[in-house]
Every structure is written in C-alpha cells, then in structure tokens.
Amino acid sequence: MNYSSAREQYSHWGVDTEAALETVGSVPVSLHCWQGDDVGGFEATGDSLGGGIQATGNYPGKARNIEELQADLSLAGSLIPGRLRVNLHAIYGEYQGKKVGRDELTVEYFEGWIQWARQHAWGMDFNPTCFAHPLAADGFTLSHRDPAVRQFWIDHCIACRRIGAAIGWSLGSPAVTNLWIPDGYKDVPVDRLAPRERLRESLDAIFGVEVDAQWNIDAVESKLFGIGFESYTVGSYDFYLGYAAKKGLALCLDAGHFHPTESVADKISAVLLFVPRLLLHVSRGVRWDSDHVVILDDPTRAILEEVAACNALDRVHVGLDFFDASINRIAAWVIGARNAQKALLLGLLRPLDKLREAENAGDYTARLAIMEDGRSLPWGVVWEEYCKRNETPVDGEWLAAVRDYEVQVLSKR
C-alpha cells in the first residue's frame, strides 16, 4: 500500500494523516547523552556511579570523551526523523582534566556543547548530577543531615538552573532543567518526615533564586526506589507532585520510576490539571528501574497516546532515559527514539473524534469496536512517509549505517 491509499483509508475514519505528520514533526525528542558512555561523564574524579544507578553490559566502543560522544550522537541523529534535542548531565562538561567543583559550575564548561547543538539545529536540556560524588556517598544529598552538605548540593542545583537558562537563551529554545536526587534508605526508616522537611527546605532555596523562566523550565523527578534505596525514597511521587503543584514547576514522569502495576499513562490527565508542564522520561523498567531500551510496547504506546488524547503537546516535553551497555549504544538511541515517535504517531492517528462520539453517547460497544478495528489501520505506511519526508532511513534500512560505523569507528576505540 502506498501513502495516498493509507491517507484515504484513514480519512474514512475521520483521521487527517497530514495533520498527524505535521504534529509529530513539531515535537522534539531529547536524546540523553548518558546512553553513549554508560553514565560515566567527563569529570576528573573517578567516582563510581552510586545513587542506585547501574549500567550493565560491556559492549565495545563506548564514548571516551566529548568528541566521540558527539560523533556518536550525530550519527544517531541522522537516523532519527524529526526534531531532536540533546540532554546533558552536569558531569558532561568540557573540564579538560581540571577538577571543577559542582557547586562552581558555569555555562563556560558547556559552550562547546552549545556550539555543537547549534550546528545541528538541536535544542538542549540539562540536569544537575546529584550522584557519583564523595558528598553523595552515604546516599543523601539535598536531604542530608549535615547543613554544609545540603548547601553544596543546593549551590550545585542553582548553578545548573543558571546554566540551563544560559543554554536556552543561547540556542533560542528553553532548556528543561530536571532535578533528581537518589536520597533514601536501604532498610525501613523510623523518621520519614525529617528528610522530606529538609528536602523541601533545600528545594525552596534552589527555586527561590530567580532565573529567566523564558529560557529555563524547572522540572522535578520522583522515584519509587533504587538499588540500595529499596525501603524509602525521600523524593517520592507524592512529595514531588505536591511540590510541583504548589510551586508551579514541571513534573517529570519517568516510565521506570513507578511500581510495575502502575499506569504512567493514567497519571497524565490527572497531573496536567494541577501542574503547568510535564516532562516525560520515556524508558522501560523490567521488574525495577532497569532503564531498558524503549520498545513499542503497550505502556509506551499508552503514554504517548494519552498525551495526544489530552491535546497537551504544548505542555509536554519528551525525553529518553535509559542506558543499555549490552548492545550497540548508537542503535539503542535510534531504536528508542524512533519507538517514542512511533507511539506518538499512533496516538495522533487514532480516530479520536469517532471514539469520543461513541463514548459521549454511552455507546461503549461502538467505542471498543472502533478502538480495536483502528489498530489494523496502516500506520506503518504513514510512518514510512514520515521517514522519507525527513530524509532518514525507513525501518529495516538504518542498521547498516550503524554496523558500518561500528567497523570503521567503534571497533578502533
């Protein structure tokens, strides 16, 4: 079937494929730099990951420096249709072997990334790095008992917000600066309140410093648990939902940060009523927050379909967050990003008008019939058209470029 036939078939169901293609093309996907080097970063500290974060696998060819990481990202970007951004953690600055305190960071250490993003016509996002550091070794940062330790991390997060605003201004596209901390206990705590009181005070200090909201979007991210933090997480979903709603911040929903039986998709319409923006970390947890490469599974489809159904794309930011070191890291980016885009396209191609009409009429028989019959519509043909219009390989054709790069470049690292 060609695209014209698919477009006609969708039109019969009341779906405008051209509008869907235009919309999916307007939504950038933020590629997380840490997939390229297993969350190593380029600080001269040598500290291990910590914070419950764990990259598994030892596939050859991981990026060892900024030049290699940028080259890998460039190749991945050439194989992904549509608009893209790059998402940096603070440990990915150009430190040139210098030990720079995280509380002393400025945008100068990221100017090379800004120039690189500008050359690619990409936007940029940013993250404080509250792990892999001596002052996070005991598992606490912004909720630490020691005021001096808390102040260090407060200063780090303020610095990162300022960097985010500078990045956004420089590129003419606001940066999403997302705050996540690992803080918690391995075993059952006695006092759950005090760490959360300290975290709230730290956050008040961080977000009490004014940065240009035109160029920086503040987000906070929860987590259910981590390795070594199984019994209690200070920055829980309930904590951050309340804080984001009260302070008017974006709320990050990471698909791997909830119980496996929870539906992240179901949360979207609820929280959009109370927070100004959502940041989606599209990931895939397998029994825990294992950050597997995103596939086109039911949870991923449900999340992006819900965003489309809520007509909330102007308030939702889409980023990837996984790190798989067991397969080719560039292929992981490509697979994950293309699947996130496919899920969004599927949401935009659903016959929503017919579905809403049936639902509002109380005709749940028709609703289920339309919903299920709509799954057979030729969305793959529309996706192929999207790839062609963006001059990127269609499915089944992009892997050869990754394999060639593996032979020519990755195998020599």
- Kindly name the residue from 116, 180, 379, 398 that is annotated as catalytic: 180
| Number of Cβ atoms within 10 Å of the Cβ of 42 | 18
| Number of Cβ atoms within 10 Å of the Cβ of 329 | 26
Specify whether 412 is catalytic.
no
Residue with tokens 């009341």: 14
- Interhelix angle 17-25/379-389, rounded to 10 degrees, is 50
- Extract the tokens encoding 82: 């549509």
Residues 239, 245, 251, 253: what is their CA dihedral angle, to the nearest 10 degrees? Answer: 60
Rounded to 5 degrees, φ, ψ at 203 are -65, -40
Separation between Cα atoms, residue 98 and residue 232, nearest integer Å: 36
- Kindly name the residue from 89, 133, 156, 257 that is annotated as catalytic: 257
Specify whether 223 is catalytic.
yes
- Kindly name the residue from 125, 254, 305, 324 that is annotated as catalytic: 254
- 32, 320 in Cβ contact below 8 A? yes
Specify whether 144 is catalytic.
no
- 92, 52 in Cβ contact below 8 A? no
Q: How far is CA 71 from the centre of its chain?
A: 20
Q: What is the 8-class DSSP label of residue 226?
A: B
Q: What is the 8-class DSSP label of residue 229?
A: B
DSSP characters for 297-322? -HHHHHHHHHHHHTT-TTTEEEEE--
Q: Up-side HSE of residue 375: CA atoms within 13 Å toward CB?
A: 7
Separation between Cα atoms, residue 31 and residue 75, nearest integer Å: 12
- Extract the tokens encoding 64: 């060892």
- Kindly name the residue from 155, 218, 289, 384 that is annotated as catalytic: 289
Which of 269, 320, 261 has the alpha carbon at shortest distance from 295? Answer: 320
- 41, 105 in Cβ contact below 8 A? no
- 333, 37 in Cβ contact below 8 A? no
Separation between Cα atoms, residue 353 and residue 75, nearest integer Å: 39
Specify whether 221 is catalytic.
yes
Q: Which residues is 175 bridged to in the sheet?
A: 216
Specify whether 180 is catalytic.
yes
Helix, strand, or coil (residue 1): coil
| Number of Cβ atoms within 10 Å of the Cβ of 121 | 11
Specify whether 254 is catalytic.
yes
- Kindly name the residue from 37, 38, 218, 291 that is annotated as catalytic: 291
Separation between Cα atoms, residue 294 and residue 331, nearest integer Å: 11
Specify whether 281 is catalytic.
yes
- Kindly name the residue from 37, 155, 218, 221 that is annotated as catalytic: 221
Q: List the catalytic residues.
A: 180, 221, 223, 254, 257, 281, 289, 291, 321
